[in-house]
Chains A and B, each alone.
Chain A
Amino acid sequence: MTVFLWGVLPYVAFVLLVAGLVRRYRHDRFGWTARSSQVHESKLLNIASPAFHYGILLVLVGHLVGLFVPMSWTDAFGVSGHTHHLLSLYGGSAAGILTVAGIALLIHRRRTSAPVFHTTTANDKVMYVVLLAAIVLGMAAKLAHASGDGYHYRESVAPWTRSLLTLQPDTELMAGVPVLYQIHAVIGLALIAFVPYSRLVHMFSAPVRYLFRPYIVYRSRDPERLRP
């Protein structure tokens, strides 16, 4: 079980993510969108959506820093374990609260605004359940182990994550991790796998190139259109 959860599942999730993205890009670029419902309801969205998105981006940065920056690096910069814990506790909680408040308002909006609710597909509902579960369990795991220096995930979860990158998963590291963290990790993996098969795929179209391209885009007629 340990091997399956922490040695196989991560790679399955990653393969599903990449395969899904490739399939989506090759066969369903037309469906690649966040399918905004702003034309139906704008007032709540204007508050909730930026709150959620900025929150979840901060959460993402927190995860990347926490999981992929080894302790030896932070020690070299003179950041003690306790400082790191407080930073991740307060910073993470602030980002988490922003995210939870945002998504709560978004779900409320989705349920109470009739046209928005009508455009909600089954896929969206599953997505909301997985996303919300991942966020709430992450918050719960963090807050349940908040006292003192907190849970030392940087000595277990983080090295395990990095061991995935070297294709030599050290599954034993995850065996003793508190169960809340374990569930959060599994649901997180499920979320990663689900991204390309849901509207979440829009996270991969961050339009960074907009900053560098000329304002007016000219394009020639597709020669396919006139080919006999």
Chain B
Amino acid sequence: MRPMAQLAMVMNLDKCIGCHTCSVTCKQAWTDRQGTEHVWFNNVETRPGQGYPRRYEDQEQWQGGWALNRRGALKLKAGGRFRKLAGIFSDPRLPETEDYDEPWTYDEPWAYGCKSLAGAPAHGGGPDPMIERTRRLAADRVRFEFEQTFMFYLPRICEHCLNPSCVASCPSGAMYKRAEDGIVLVDQDRCRGWRMCVTGCPYKKVYFNHRTGKAEKCTLCSPRLEAGLPTVCSETCVGRLRYLGVVLYDADRVTAAASVPDEHELYAAQLGVFLDPEDPGVRRACAAAGIPYDWVEAARRSPVHALISRYKVALPLHPEYRTMPMVWYIPPLSPVVEALTETGHDGEDAHNLFGAIDTLRIPLEYLAELFTAGDVAPVRASLEKLAAMRSHMRAVNLGEQPDPSVARAVGMRDAEIEEMYRLLAIARYEDRYVIPAAAVSDARRLEESALPDGCGLDHGCSLDYEGGPGMGGDGPSGQDSGGRTHLPLVSVENFHALRHRPTAAEEEET
């Protein structure tokens, strides 16, 4: 056993209203530069829909992620080491600007998108690849009526996978998974701009900065996490639907789990990789592996661990890419409730709901294509637990006696359901984000600035030194994104003020 810690995220899709606040705040924090017009570390997609970049889920076209070779071993779908190096002079699987949608502004000389405004129609692209697949697979069983299906939003960031195919694709060895917290990063000094990571990532969450000629990706706001703060997208999420926490996993089991032949088994295989922080044996192994005590404690209190492993309501996005993604999703129940209510039934009655989940096969199978490689059972189980929670809590709120059979039907106890309710519906700030700081002793110093000392003023940080991606100015590698400039660091948020803010309102209310 080789235990490692991973900072992971869960998003509760029931609560997403598609407001894009996460995307906008993320962009303002990280990619508000020339060269990164198309770079959305966080984006929100309407599902069913094409996604960003368009149809990125069609891996027959983009060749992202891993596949099994004839001997059943993992190989990069876009080709192994020799094929990568032989084809290094161009990358035919690279999405172009138009796949991302051409950026445009009113008077910037770079923005050739201005031209496309003058009458060129929006790019079509084609239907959602998952819809296509569902249709193909279920054509003879299910009548698929696109107009009557439902719609929900899917916010996406980098998955910070346990088996990252972008890292495996990087010829320069510039991409790495950070040993302490599992965050996948690009070393801007080592990146040589071969672009293989963009192709390698099946989620298309590594972007090529056309200004600096380097790859950039979501950092899970690592400077903030190091200081114990949640990511910008989580912090600003209006629906409070994001959860951040530590998950412990056994690095020795990752490759075997990612190589499971049956795609439907991948979800269960990934669950099997995670370690239970309550297990004394695991705790001893963690201590031996040098995982700090407060990290193991954080793993015990981790909302992500609870939603993934204890309640099993969160599911991975596209496990069939075999990258072992670490941003998981609680599938949306709302469309089911909505559809039920529209037919005149009581949408929150447990028996109606359970029946509806099963009869509304179209959403279920679509969701399964997204979250479990097409296996409907885990999605149904997750939705049933959410349905049981609604029904149980409605009884509690109306002062009725909750029907104990409802909880039992989904294999939970009343107390567990209420715990889950507190985590999902009350979703207090402290419960949503359980983030151990990188080094507790450094917390006071880090709280003043999101970036470590020495950044900006002289040297030491990879963002803002000679030739670093600061703002403005000319450098050997272009302007703006690659400019050399020294930004004064201003502390906009103070750690303690920030800690106090989200809880202040709640204290006043009660």
Q: Is the CB of B85 within 8 A of A115?
A: no
Q: Is the CB of B466 within 8 A of A28?
A: yes
Cα distance, A33 to B192, chains bound together (Å):
5
Taking a contact as CB atoms closer than 8 A, the residue among A41, A50, A226 that contacts B452 in the complex is: A226
Taking a contact as CB atoms closer than 8 A, the residue among B84, B163, B439, B482 that contacts A31 in the complex is: B482
Taking a contact as CB atoms closer than 8 A, the residue among A50, A208, A209 that contacts B90 in the complex is: A50
Interface residue total, chain B, C-beta cutoff 8 A: 70
Question: Is B210 among interface residues, defined by CB-CB distance under 8 A?
Answer: yes
Name the CB-closest residue of B to A54.
B89
Question: Is B193 among interface residues, defined by CB-CB distance under 8 A?
Answer: yes
Question: Is A216 among interface residues, defined by CB-CB distance under 8 A?
Answer: yes
B128-178 CB contacts (< 8 Å) to partner A: 163-164, 167-168, 170-173, 175-178
Taking a contact as CB atoms closer than 8 A, the residue among A39, A53, A118, A209 that contacts B110 in the complex is: A118
What's the least CB distance linking A50 to chain B, in Å? Answer: 4
Q: Which A residues touch B240, using CB under 8 A?
A: none
Q: Which A residues touch B179, using CB under 8 A?
A: 218-221
Taking a contact as CB atoms closer than 8 A, the residue among A49, A205, A217 that contacts B89 in the complex is: A49
Name the CB-closest residue of B to A32.
B192
Q: Which A residues touch B38, using CB under 8 A?
A: 39
Q: Which B residues touch A220, using CB under 8 A?
A: 178-180
Q: How large is the interface on A (under 10, 10 to 19, 20 to 34, 35 or more residues)?
A: 35 or more
Taking a contact as CB atoms closer than 8 A, the residue among A35, A205, A207 that contacts B478 in the complex is: A35
Name the CB-closest residue of A to B174.
A217
Question: Is B445 among interface residues, defined by CB-CB distance under 8 A?
Answer: yes
Q: Which A residues touch B94, using CB under 8 A?
A: 38-39, 42
Per-position 1/0 for A24-53, Cβ under 8 A of B: 000111111111111111100110011011
Question: Is A121 among interface residues, defined by CB-CB distance under 8 A?
Answer: yes
Q: Is the CB of A118 within 8 A of B88?
A: no
Q: Is the CB of B193 within 8 A of A30?
A: no
Q: Is the CB of B476 within 8 A of A28?
A: yes
Cα distance, A117 to B91, chains bound together (Å):
20
Name the CB-closest residue of B to A197.
B476
Per-position 1/0 for B82-101, Cβ under 8 A of A: 10110111111011110000
Cα distance, A220 to B291, chains bound together (Å):
12
Question: Is A73 among interface residues, defined by CB-CB distance under 8 A?
Answer: no
User: Given A31-B475, A210-B85, are A36 and B96 neighbors across the interface (CB < 8 Å)?
Assistant: no
Q: Which B residues touch A208, using CB under 8 A?
A: 85
Q: Is the CB of B81 within 8 A of A41?
A: no
Name the CB-closest residue of A to B445.
A228
Q: Is the CB of A39 within 8 A of B92?
A: no
Question: Is A165 among interface residues, defined by CB-CB distance under 8 A?
Answer: no
Which one, B183-191, B259-267, B293-301, is touching chain A? B183-191
User: Given A30-B212, A30-B214, A226-B226, are A38 and B90 neighbors across the interface (CB < 8 Å)?
Assistant: yes
Q: Is the CB of A41 within 8 A of B96?
A: yes
Cα distance, A121 to B452, chains bound together (Å):
34
Cα distance, A213 to B210, chains bound together (Å):
28
Taking a contact as CB atoms closer than 8 A, the residue among B163, B191, B208 that contacts A39 in the complex is: B208
Cα distance, A65 to B16, chains bound together (Å):
65
Q: Is the CB of A207 within 8 A of B171?
A: yes
Q: Is the CB of B171 within 8 A of A39?
A: no
Q: Which B residues touch A27, using CB under 8 A?
A: 466-467
Q: Which B residues touch A207, using CB under 8 A?
A: 85, 88, 171-173, 192, 194
Q: Is the CB of A217 within 8 A of B195?
A: no
What's the least CB distance linking B102 to chain A, in Å? Answer: 9
A37-82 CB contacts (< 8 Å) to partner B: 37-42, 45-46, 49-50, 52-54
Per-position 1/0 for A107-129, Cβ under 8 A of B: 00000001100110101000000
Q: Which B residues touch A46, using CB under 8 A?
A: 90, 92
Q: Is the CB of A42 within 8 A of B96?
A: yes
Q: Which A residues touch B115, using CB under 8 A?
A: 114
User: Given A45-B90, A217-B175, are A37 and B210 neighbors across the interface (CB < 8 Å)?
Assistant: yes
Q: Which B residues touch A33, using CB under 8 A?
A: 191-193, 212-214, 477
Q: Which A residues touch B344, using CB under 8 A?
A: none
Taking a contact as CB atoms closer than 8 A, the residue among A32, A39, A50, A218 that contacts B96 in the complex is: A39
Q: Which B residues touch A54, using CB under 8 A?
A: 89
User: Given A34-B213, A38-B91, A228-B445, are A217 and B193 neighbors across the interface (CB < 8 Å)?
Assistant: no
Given A38-B91, A219-B177, A228-B445: 16 more A-B contacts, CB < 8 Å: A30-B469, A30-B477, A33-B191, A34-B192, A36-B208, A36-B213, A37-B210, A38-B94, A54-B89, A115-B110, A119-B211, A207-B85, A210-B170, A215-B76, A217-B173, A221-B178
> Which residues from chain A sit less than 8 Å from chain B, CB to CB?
27-42, 45-46, 49-50, 52-54, 114-115, 118-119, 121, 123, 202, 205, 207-211, 213, 215-221, 224-228
> Which residues from chain B sit less than 8 Å from chain A, CB to CB?
38, 76, 81-82, 84-85, 87-92, 94-97, 109-110, 112, 115, 163-164, 167-168, 170-173, 175-181, 187-195, 208, 210-214, 226, 438-439, 442, 445-446, 452-453, 460, 462, 465-469, 475-478, 482
